Amino acid sequence: MKQYKLTVIGIVCASLLYLISVLFNLEIFEALIVLLDELEHLEIDEIILPGFVLASFVIADVLRRNKVNRVSQEKLKIYRAMVQSTHHVLNNFLNQMLIVKMKAESTPGFDPKVLKIYDQIADEAQQQIHALSNISDVSEASIHESVRPK
C-alpha cells in the first residue's frame, strides 16, 4: 500500500472531483473550455500542450533520479553493513591472535622479531579496516585506494 500512496491519493482526489461535479451538476470541463476561450487573446491556450509535454518529461526525470538515488542509498547501506561486519570479524580474529602472541611472549627462546612483525601486521590490518569504514564514495576505485599500502 505504501508503494501506491500517490496512486491512492490520485484516486481519492479524482473520485471527489467526480462526486462534486455530479452532486452539484457542475460542468468542469466545459468551464475550462470557456476559461480558455476567454483567455484566447493572451494566447495561453497555445502554451498548455507544450506545458503538459514539458511537465511529463520533468516528472519522468524526477522519478528516474529518485530511483537512482534510492538505489545508491541502498548500496551505501549494504556497503556500510558489510564493512561493519568485516570489522567485527577481523577484530575477533585480532583478539584471538593476541592470545597466540601472549603465548609466544611467554615461551622461552621465541624470536622477538617475529612478535614485532606480528604487531606491524595487526596495526596495518586495523588501519586498512578503519580506512574502509571511512569511505564516502562507494566505488571500486575508492575501495582499492583506501586499502592500498602507503
6, part of any domain: no
- Domain extent at residue 143: 39-147
Q: Which of 59-73, 104-118, 135-149 has the highest mean pLDDT?
A: 59-73
What residues contact residue 115 under an 8 Å CB cut-off, 6+ apart? 101, 104, 105
pLDDT for position 150: 66
Number of domains in the chain: 1
Least confident of 58-62, 96-100, 126-130: 126-130
pLDDT for position 16: 93
pLDDT for position 115: 84
82, part of any domain: yes
95, part of any domain: yes
pLDDT in tens, 86-110: 878 888 888 888 888 888 888 888 8
